Amino acid sequence: MIFSSFKWLQLRPAVVTSIVLCSSAAMASDSDVMRGKYLIEIGGCNDCHTTGYAPSGGTVPEEQWLLGDALGFRGGWGTTYPVNLRTYMNNLSKQEWIDKAKTLKTRPPMPWWVLNRMTEEDLSAVYAYIAQLPVIENRVPDYVAPGEQPNGPYIQWPQGPK
C-alpha cells in the first residue's frame, strides 16, 4: 500500500508536466489558426480567392474557401486570376511566406499592399490558418496578356485592354 502510493507520487509530476506542455502547445497553435481565419475573413481574401463568395453574401462553406477562381479580372494589365491559396501556401515555408508577403507586388486587382503592411505575427497567423486546410488541387487559368482574349468568364474593368 505504502509502496504503491509512493510510486504514484513519483510519477505524478512528470505526468502533470507533460499534460500542461501538450495543452499549452495546442492552445497556441489553435489561437494562431483562429486569428488567421479572422484576418482572412475581414481582409476580404475570400471575395476574390473563393468562387462565388461575394455574390453569395459570404455564405460559401469553409471547405470551399481559398481554392482560387476561374473568374478573371480584365483590364489594361491583361486578365488575372486569383490563385489557389491552399496549394500556394503548401509550396512555401512559413518564413518564405512572410518574406514574400512583405515585398509582394502583383498585377491588379490583388491588394498586395495589404499583405506588405501586415505584421509578421498576422502573416504567421494567416499562414497557420491556410496551411492547416486540406490541399485541394484546383487549377485556375494562366494569366492572359493584354489584347489577348481570355477563354472563360471575366470581369471587365473600365480601363480596357491596351
Q: Which residues bind ligand HEC (CB under 6 A)?
A: 43-45, 47-49, 73, 80-83, 85, 88, 104, 106-107, 109-111, 114-115, 126, 143
Q: Tell me whether residue 9 or residue 114 sits nearer to ligand HEC (CB atom).
A: 114
Question: Please, what is the minimum distance in Å from the beta carbon of residue 160 to ligand HEC?
Answer: 17
Question: Please, what is the minimum distance in Å from the beta carbon of residue 28 to ligand HEC?
Answer: 22
Question: Please, what is the minimum distance in Å from the beta carbon of residue 43 to ligand HEC?
Answer: 3
Residue 139 carries which DSSP code?
A: P
Measured CA to CA, the distance from residue 63 to residue 134 in angstroms comes to 8
Written as nine digits, the cell of 139 is 487549377
Question: Please, what is the minimum distance in Å from the beta carbon of residue 162 to ligand HEC?
Answer: 16
From residue 100, alpha-carbon distances to 15, 109, 113, 115, 119 in Å are 42, 18, 12, 9, 13
Q: Tell me whether residue 7 or residue 117 sits nearer to ligand HEC (CB atom).
A: 117
Written as nine digits, the cell of 88 is 500556394
Q: Tell me whether residue 65 or residue 81 sits nearer to ligand HEC (CB atom).
A: 81
SS3 73: strand
How many helices and strands in the chain, by DSSP H and E?
6, 3
Q: Tell me whether residue 60 or residue 114 sits nearer to ligand HEC (CB atom).
A: 114
